[in-house]
């Protein structure tokens, strides 16, 4: 159960979310009345995200380590079937090896292990993969600490802290030694002897404080910023409508006729900018796809040469972080890990020498023409505003200068974002934890590693299997790289198009109501 102060903070957080939803409803009514569909769509999306706000926690570990007990203890009010509480927290149980793909996004990850068993190399690789996916907030729960003999507890705690604190973002502050069955869901009194040693209450306080303060409130601030941005975009329309109410009808008609012609020209400019992005995307899809396919084919052909440089690792001095299995299985896992590291290094070189220059060349060709059109668009929008209201428009009333600068910054940063996302995607698909799980499930391979096969035979079998996997999934992973490029460019295109549409819709919102009222 949560500390009373945290419960108060949670209630305040939920109240603020509810208030922001109410304000969003009011903003949606205003945007609908002004006929601003693009801003309305953005406001509706924002409201939906606020309404579905959830602080998610993954509870991960081997089977039988007490994950369900921990979840039930952390959320004593909830049914174990859905792990929901207050409609704001969501706890999900994951067993190592059951989900070889990517983990769903989570605000925090609780990694559960028993104090009576050492973490395996497989588990450490899974933790590395989670952190690479962006799950930086990892809490380590060393369960069943009460089963460790009192004389050995200090030593066990020291060993676990030395290993796990190096993997946690907040070091020892996120490593807990608990007896989930007896401690969770209870809060010892200050004079209770257990209050000095029980780790579960400290875990509850630390976890919920992190979720509410660092995750929940951070997103709330982001929601407020988005809400304010949308609301401020409406102010020029309201201000212009108010000014035009006192303008003579004949003068208004003259302004409207000229404005409509200019709006038609601006709409054609918007369509042309969208066409520029589409043409570039199509050209890049083909070139990136061919380059990626060639990489995977060439990489498959170098497997044998890379294996010649590999010799099995010397056994570590301690039993920490060892692969599970017999000698043959451990060797196979070590070999897969080596080949994956080599493949990542090759891929990073390909990104730097092939993908980056290709992207830069195409984006540099797009930017001058895009720059000319967007700058002219922004200038024409400001002139129309000035003509409509009969005065010069300040930068507060026209966001053209601001969003034009934002467009060019997005274009300039596109190459970095694409290459970073591409490398992350490759590493996640070819992470040792994924490849070990996948390759060792092959029946032929399972037979080999349970035999008395020697080192060279095991390495050769791993190399052949790894090469086949590269060739088999060549098209799939090439398509994945192409999609990363296309999605990034499409995102920029959508942002640019939305900015242009908003400016046009704001002008229409000023013109049309006044025309109707005359």
Half-sphere exposure of 341 (CA within 13 A, CB side): 10
What is the percent of the chain where pLDDT is above 70?
83
pLDDT average, residue stretch 425-429:
85
Residue 397: is its pLDDT beyond 50?
no
- How crowded is residue 255: how many other Cβ atoms within 10 Å of its Cβ? 20
Q: What is the CATH number of domain 4-225?
A: 3.40.50.300
Residue 23: is its pLDDT beyond 80?
yes
Residue 361 vs residues 39, 83, 158: alpha-carbon distances, Å: 34, 50, 54
pLDDT average, residue stretch 239-263:
75
Looking at residue 289, what is its pLDDT? 93
d(CA 244, CA 390): 9
Closest CA to 224 of 16, 444, 59, 513: 16
Looking at residue 71, what is its pLDDT? 81
Looking at residue 356, what is its pLDDT? 92
Q: Which residues face 93 on adjacent strands?
A: 59
Closest CA to 63 of 112, 131, 133: 112
d(CA 10, CA 149): 39
Lowest mean pLDDT of 89-103, 147-161, 322-336, name the range: 89-103
pLDDT average, residue stretch 13-21:
93
Looking at residue 3, what is its pLDDT? 65
Instruction: Sort 39 into a burial class: Cβ within 10 Å, 0-12 / 13-18 / 19+.
Output: buried
Lowest mean pLDDT of 31-40, 51-60, 251-260, 391-400, name the range: 391-400
Three-class SS state of 390 = coil
- Asked if residue 143 lies in contact with residue 65, where contact means CB atoms within 8 angstroms, the answer is yes
Q: What tens digit of pLDDT does each residue of 284-303 get?
A: 899 999 999 999 999 999 99
Confidence of residue 41 (pLDDT cuts 50, 70, 90): very high
Consecutive H or E run containing 110: strand 108-114
Consecutive H or E run containing 113: strand 108-114
pLDDT average, residue stretch 322-328:
81
- Asked if residue 268 lies in contact with residue 376, where contact means CB atoms within 8 angstroms, the answer is no
Looking at residue 516, what is its pLDDT? 45
Residue 352: is its pLDDT beyond 80?
yes
Domain residue ranges in the chain: 4-225, 248-310+328-517
pLDDT average, residue stretch 333-349:
92
- Asked if residue 465 lies in contact with residue 343, where contact means CB atoms within 8 angstroms, the answer is no
- Asked if residue 139 lies in contact with residue 109, where contact means CB atoms within 8 angstroms, the answer is yes
Confidence of residue 102 (pLDDT cuts 50, 70, 90): low
Which tokens hold the place of 178?
């608990």
Looking at residue 169, what is its pLDDT? 77
Residue 80: is its pLDDT beyond 50?
no
Residue 189: is its pLDDT beyond 50?
no
Closest CA to 256 of 125, 389, 167, 363: 389
Looking at residue 415, what is its pLDDT? 85
Instruction: Decide: pTM greater than 0.95.
Output: no
Residue 138: is its pLDDT beyond 70?
yes
Residue 475: is its pLDDT beyond 70?
yes
d(CA 337, CA 333): 6
Collect all residues with Cβ–Cβ distance below 8 Å to 378 and sequence separation of at least 6: 398, 400, 401, 403, 404, 503
More confident residue, 103 or 486: 486
Q: What average pLDDT is seen over the chain?
A: 81
**Please, what's the b/e burial string for 139-166 (b: 16 or more CB within 10 A of its CB; e: otherwise)?**
bbbbbbbbebeeeeeeebbeebbebbee
Confidence of residue 510 (pLDDT cuts 50, 70, 90): confident
DSSP string, 188-238: --TTSGGGGT-SHHHHHHHHHHIIIIIIIHHHHHHHHHHHHHHHHHHHHHH
Residue 332: is its pLDDT beyond 60?
yes
pLDDT average, residue stretch 319-343:
83
Looking at residue 79, what is its pLDDT? 36
Residue 70: is its pLDDT beyond 50?
yes
* Owner of token pair 């207050």: 86
Three-class SS state of 314 = coil
Confidence of residue 404 (pLDDT cuts 50, 70, 90): low
Looking at residue 67, what is its pLDDT? 83
Lowest mean pLDDT of 214-223, 329-338, 384-393, name the range: 384-393
């Amino acid at each position: 159960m949560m500390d009373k102060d945290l419960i108060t903070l949670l209630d305040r957080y939920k109240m603020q979310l509810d208030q922001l939803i109410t304000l969003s409803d009011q903003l949606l009514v205003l945007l609908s009345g002004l006929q601003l569909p693009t801003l309305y769509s953005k406001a509706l999306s924002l409201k939906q995200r606020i309404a579905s706000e959830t602080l998610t926690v993954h509870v991960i570990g081997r089977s039988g380590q007490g994950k369900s007990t921990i979840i039930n203890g952390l959320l004593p009010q909830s049914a174990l079937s859905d792990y929901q509480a207050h409609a704001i927290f969501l706890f999900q149980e994951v067993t190592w090896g059951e989900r070889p793909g990517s983990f769903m996004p989570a605000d925090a990850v609780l990694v559960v292990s028993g104090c009576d068993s050492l973490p395996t190399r497989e588990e450490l690789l899974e933790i590395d993969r989670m952190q690479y996916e962006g799950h930086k907030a990892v809490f380590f729960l060393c369960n069943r600490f009460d089963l460790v003999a009192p004389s050995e507890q200090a030593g066990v705690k020291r060993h676990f802290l030395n290993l796990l604190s190096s993997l946690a973002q907040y070091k020892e502050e996120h490593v807990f030694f608990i007896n989930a069955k007896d401690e969770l869901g209870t809060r010892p009194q200050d004079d209770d002897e257990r209050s000095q040693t029980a780790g579960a209450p400290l875990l509850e306080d630390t976890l919920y404080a992190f979720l509410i303060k660092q995750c929940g409130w951070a997103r709330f601030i982001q929601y407020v910023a988005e809400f304010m941005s949308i609301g401020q975009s409406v102010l020029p329309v309201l201000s212009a409508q108010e000014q035009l109410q006192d303008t003579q009808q004949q003068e208004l008609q003259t302004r409207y006729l000229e404005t409509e012609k200019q709006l038609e020209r601006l709409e054609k400019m918007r369509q042309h900018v969208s066409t520029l992005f589409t043409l570039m995307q199509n050209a890049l899809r083909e070139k990136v796809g061919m380059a990626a396919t060639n990489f995977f084919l060439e990489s498959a052909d170098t497997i044998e040469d890379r294996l010649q440089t590999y010799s099995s690792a010397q056994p570590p001095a301690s039993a920490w972080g060892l692969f599970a299995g017999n000698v043959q299985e451990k060797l196979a896992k070590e070999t897969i890990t080596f080949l994956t590291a080599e493949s990542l290094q090759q891929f990073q070189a390909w990104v730097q020498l092939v993908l980056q220059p290709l992207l830069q060349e195409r984006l540099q060709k797009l930017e001058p023409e895009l720059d000319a059109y967007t700058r002219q668009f922004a200038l024409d929008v400001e002139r129309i505003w000035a003509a409509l209201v009969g005065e010069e428009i300040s930068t507060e009333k026209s966001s053209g200068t601001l969003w034009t600068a934002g467009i060019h910054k997005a274009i300039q940063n596109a190459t970095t974002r694409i290459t970073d996302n591409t490398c992350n995607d490759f590493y996640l698909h070819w992470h040792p934890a994924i490849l070990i799980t996948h390759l060792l499930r092959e029946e032929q391979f399972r037979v080999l590693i349970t035999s008395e096969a020697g080192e060279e035979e095991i390495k050769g079998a791993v190399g052949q299997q790894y090469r086949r996997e590269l060739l088999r999934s060549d098209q799939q992973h090439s398509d994945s790289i192409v999609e990363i490029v296309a999605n990034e460019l499409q995102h920029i295109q959508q942002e640019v198009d939305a900015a242009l549409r908003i400016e046009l819709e704001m002008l229409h919102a000023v013109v049309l109501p006044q025309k109707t009222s005359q």
